[in-house]
Chains A and B, each alone.
Chain A
Amino acid sequence: MTTEALVGLIFLPLLGACATVLPGRLATRAGVLAGLLPLPWLLVVVTLAVVQDPALFVELGGFAAPLGIRLFADPLAVLMLWMVAIIGGLAAVHAWFDFPPDSPAGQSFWPLWLLLTSAMNALFLSADLFNLYVCLELVTLTAIPLIALAGSKTSVRAAMRYLLLALLASLLYLLGIALLYNATGTLDLYLIRTALTAAPPAAVVTALALISLGLLLKGAVFPLHVWLPQAHASAPGPVSAVLSALVVKTAIYLLYRLWLWSVPAGTLAAEHALMLMALLGAGALLYGGVLALLQERLKLVIAYSTVAQLGYLLLILPMAATAAWPVAWQGGLYQLLSHGLAKAAMFLAAANILHALGSDRLSHLRRLDQRQPLSLFTLAVAGVSLMGLPPSGGFLAKWLLLEAAWRSGQWWLLAVLIAGSLLAAAYIFRILAASLGRDDPTEAQPVAASRSIPVIQDAAALLLALLALGTGFAAAPILQFIEAGAPAAWSTP
């Protein structure tokens, strides 16, 4: 049952994607629905299984580890899968109206979307560095055309830049795993740990550096974030949502897997490498925050906010060597979750605003509370979570991170966390202030497209925002679940 569910998570969207390209009006609809609707039900099964066994390995076709392909599910993976299901699902609901399945736009949109879903699911379930490479590549290659689907010049240019840098990243990654395979003879994430200790250090070091670098580039970690803002801001709304909430996180997820599961604890001065990455995270948090504050367009603000918020995910790394690690890990994952929900909500709301007003320049947002009240409300609620103000998932995440920083005595982290959330407050309130502004009669109004937004699109965005808020109340079971699969803390040498 569990095996089928795991396989289904990967193959149902894939099959759906195939179905959508079949001729016939119904085929696209059927493909989309068949590819997406069953995912939550399958996930329930998987979740129940993982609750029983927090490190669930499933060998496909009955071949054992070094030879066959095996799938792996643990709480981290399940959390990511749920995010794909929920965020991807609600973004798909939103996209249903912008890209109706029977329209030409829909014809090119939905296969890519389903492929992306399938690739992400596969990525989160893979236990093998090479399979992961394939999945990562698939994710990138499906995401890029989705960006370009917006059809504007900027979006194509942004997609091209993304493509260029993503390919560079993939090459770095591929180079790294080639070296690793050469040195250890295995690419299984969970078996490589023992092999690494025996391997020649020079190769291992080079490989780790190359892989990490590739992932940092894909994960748009400061200062390698440069492709992200334009790409995320110019993509169609639902695509932006999924890119910011999920796609960049796949790289971070892999960084976690690599450093927290595969690298043997206490070797290779790894804690210094983690510290370096945390420093990059801190840089991202501050730099992204300030730049978000300087943007004049709503979607760019949100995109830079993603750059900043990714920083939190790296900040927890150096705490792996301290006693505060369980708390830090919970905080990091909770941040991952709540940021994903909130950010997707914001992008969907921004898309609605863009459609309704014909512009997403902050100076054109005046009287938004009367023109797009629900979108503004969504922005505000999601913003509360991003700022880390209670009651929201973002607040609980920040609380846990602060507690971890305090317990581990990492005072600089404390300062960075605080500064990050203050910056977030500044750019979120900047948006809200712009939306409550009065009309200035001297200034010309933008050419309002004044398209009315289907209620469902508003509702999808709002639902995501409310989920972000709701994670502020339902933390106990989720954290309990996460805790079971936390990677062991490194004992300080």
Chain B
Amino acid sequence: MIQLALSLPLLLALACLFGLQQRLRWLLPAASLPVIALAVLQESRLELDWLLFGLTVGGDAANRPLLLLLGLAWSLAAWHALDYIGERQRSFWFFWLLTLSGISLTFLAQDAVGFYCGYAVMGLAAYGLILHNRSDDARRAGRVYLILALVGEVLIISGLFQLGARFGNFPLADLGMLLGEPDGFGLAGWCLLVGFAVKMGTLPLHIWLPLAHPVAPAPASAILSGVIVKAGLLGWLRLLPPEMFGASPPVLALILLGLTGAFYAALMGLTRSEPKAVLAWSTVSQLGLILVLFAAASVSELERALLLPVIGIWVLHHGLNKAALFLATACAPTLTRWRLLLLALPALSIAGVPLTSGSLAKGLAKEGITQASLPDWTVTVFGLSSVTTALLLWHLLTRLRQNPGDARAHPAWVILTLLALVVPWLWAAQLGLASSPTLASTWDGIWPLLLAGAIALAWQRSGWRLPQWAGLPAFTLERVSRLKAVRPLAFSQSWLPRQVQPGPALLRLERQLARVPVVGLGLLALLLGLGLILIAGT
């Protein structure tokens, strides 16, 4: 099954190169189905000695929820894309499948090189998805994405070099053990943390997300936001075990960064009118919360074990719901009441309404953070973030209602929305973490909504509009790619003789030398010279 999961997308991508994707139409959504089986299986493992430096792949506790997310979201998005984009778009499907190959390897890899290999392929292939419509905006977004992705990747490889120098191509699961006694958060740690943060949209590195999502086609945005960004999280989980952080992990700094991101992104989202841009900011915001969870899980081995399943559930919840929302933007979700309901479900879920997967994830998260001996205000602020999330999603609904569109409701969207409602619960139940809601937890889920509703009403009444603000100085990295400042040092060839310059003068000299009197003079001079030298010797 692992072989199938890895090779099917790759083979289909190759088939696309030869234009066969039209004949294989029905295989395209199926390419990501085998990973579901791997997610359901408890353990799976495969060693391929002949590939790369010896590739190991398999499912374990860390990647199984991600695999499930990948399988479900990707297949349904592909189904949607089959109608939304059409199977004739060879280039789209090629990059789609190549990205899938990359991310499958990233999720499944159990060794450092395999992981990086998948990560890099995925990162580059996703560029093709962002650029799908070839507009100027898409190009700009693509360029910024690519530059950031590359910077991220070289940071990651720099970190991996440092680990590789000590452990070779190490098994990811054993990294903590290999590191042994924590020896402080070194350069390798920083490289990896920042490198993966690019994909995770952590605060100053988030700028590609709001640029890329609006320009990419809806199914591509769905998997970008729902699945691909989670690869960064997996990178953190895999390569930054608590041992990596040493005795005093920068947990607090990370939490602050995550929370800032969560609020800042939500506010930024409120200033946007394009629904997909709003959703992109929402993703940045949610990723900020995931960073908080990751930070909490880095306190020590104990917290990691405790929070890992929670993170899994959170990822599953956010990925499915966010993907559903992105698909919704292409399905005219406000056209009918049923569609509105289908749109509201994932939105409410992300806002954490009781009984939704969101409330499950948030409840577990708060519980985990409380147990992780972190400052009290962390949990409070974490809870407050639900308010801004709810506001943002309300903003999304109003934006979508203003421009309903007339697209067909695609079954993939419907199915994904329903799955998003159910699957996280099932997963939690399977892990024994699902519990029936208590009064406290219900209240926990409801008060942010009430608060948000109040603010929204007040806002609507006042008619006040948020100013359109461009966000953090959008340092357009595109300039880097057109370096003008670096003047080449002048290593010119001008010193090389084109023609020997002293030519004419020498030729004149030669003519003079050839005159007989001159020869005679030369003879005399030499005679004197030789004679004098010899006489001097006697």
Contact = CB atoms under 8 A, between A and B. Distances in A.
Contact, chains A and B (beta carbon distance below 8 A): yes
Contact of A205 (B500, B514, B526, B535): B535
Contact of B534 (A172, A209, A227): A209
A272 B523 contact: no
A267 interface: yes
A201 interface: yes
Chain B CB within 10 Å, residue with most, of A164, A206, A217, A294: A294
A291 B250 CA distance: 76
B513 A205 contact: no
A269 interface: yes
A276 B523 contact: no
Interface in A230-272: 230, 267-270, 272
Contacts of A208: 530, 534
A276 B522 contact: no
A224 B523 contact: yes
A125 to B, nearest CB: 28
A226 interface: yes
B1 to A, nearest CB: 62
A276 B529 CA distance: 8
A205 B534 CA distance: 6
Contact of B523 (A217, A227, A270): A217
Contacts of B535: 201-202, 205
A210 interface: yes
Contacts, number: 74
A223 B522 contact: yes
Interface string A290-324: 11011000000000000000000000000000000
A196 B536 CA distance: 17
B526 A272 contact: no
Interface in A194-231: 201-202, 205-206, 208-210, 212-213, 216-217, 223-224, 226-227, 230
Nearest to B529: A276
Contacts of A224: 519, 522-523, 526
B514 A291 contact: no
Interface string B479-519: 00000000000000000000010110011001001101011
B538 A290 contact: no
A226 B502 CA distance: 19
Given A216-B526, A293-B500, A226 B519 contact: yes
Given A224-B519, A269-B537, A272-B537, A205 B531 contact: yes
Contacts of A202: 535, 538
A291 B510 contact: yes
A212 B530 contact: yes
A223 B526 CA distance: 10
A201 B538 CA distance: 7
B507 A294 contact: yes
A359 to B, nearest CB: 20
Given A201-B538, A226-B513, A209 B530 contact: yes
A269 B536 contact: yes
Contact of A213 (B506, B514, B516, B527): B527
A324 to B, nearest CB: 23
B51 interface: no
B519 A272 contact: no
B537 A226 contact: no
B250 to A, nearest CB: 62
A209 B518 CA distance: 19
A172 to B, nearest CB: 8
A272 B536 contact: yes
A209 B537 CA distance: 13
Chain B CB within 10 Å, residue with most, of A168, A209, A210, A227: A209
B533 interface: yes
Contacts of B502: 290
Contacts of A230: 514
A27 interface: no
A290 B526 contact: no
Interface string A103-114: 000000000000
B494 to A, nearest CB: 18
A202 B510 CA distance: 35
A175 B221 CA distance: 105
Given A226-B514, A291-B506, A293-B500, A205 B522 contact: no
Contacts of A227: 514
A484 to B, nearest CB: 31
A5 interface: no
Interface string A423-442: 00000000000000000000
Contacts of B536: 269, 272
A377 B514 CA distance: 33
Contacts of B513: 223, 226
Contacts of B510: 226, 291
A197 to B, nearest CB: 11
Nearest to A169: B523
A284 to B, nearest CB: 12
Nearest to A269: B537
B533 A168 contact: no
A165 interface: yes
Interface string A154-186: 000000010011001000100000000000000
Nearest to B514: A226
B530 to A, nearest CB: 4
Nearest to A216: B526
B531 to A, nearest CB: 4
A273 interface: yes
Nearest to B513: A226
B519 to A, nearest CB: 6
A210 B527 contact: yes
Nearest to B504: A294
A209 B531 contact: yes
Contacts of B503: 294
A133 B516 CA distance: 23
Interface string B308-343: 000000000000000000000000000000000000
Contacts of B529: 276
B501 to A, nearest CB: 11
A170 to B, nearest CB: 13
Interface string B126-157: 00000000000000000000000000000000
B526 A294 contact: no
B522 A269 contact: no
B7 to A, nearest CB: 53
Given A205-B531, A209-B527, A291-B506, A165 B538 contact: no
A165 B530 contact: no
B510 to A, nearest CB: 6
A444 B475 CA distance: 63
Given A165-B519, A168-B523, A270 B507 contact: no
Contacts of A165: 516, 519
Given A164-B516, A290-B506, A293-B500, A272 B533 contact: yes
Nearest to B528: A209
A294 B522 contact: no
B506 A276 contact: no
Contacts of B506: 290-291, 294
Given A223-B522, A224-B522, A226-B514, A267 B527 contact: no
Chain B CB within 10 Å, residue with most, of A201, A205, A227, A293: A205
Nearest to B518: A226
Nearest to A206: B531
Given A209-B530, A210-B527, A224-B526, 10 more contacts: A201-B535, A205-B534, A208-B530, A212-B530, A216-B526, A226-B513, A267-B537, A272-B534, A293-B500, A294-B503
16 contacts: A168-B523, A172-B523, A201-B538, A205-B535, A213-B523, A223-B513, A226-B519, A268-B538, A269-B534, A269-B536, A273-B533, A273-B534, A290-B500, A290-B502, A291-B507, A291-B510
Interface of A: 161, 164-165, 168, 172, 201-202, 205-206, 208-210, 212-213, 216-217, 223-224, 226-227, 230, 267-270, 272-273, 276, 290-291, 293-294
Query: Can you list the 7 inter-chain pairs with the closest CB atoms, starting with the nearest?
Result: A269-B537, A201-B538, A226-B514, A209-B530, A205-B534, A268-B537, A209-B531
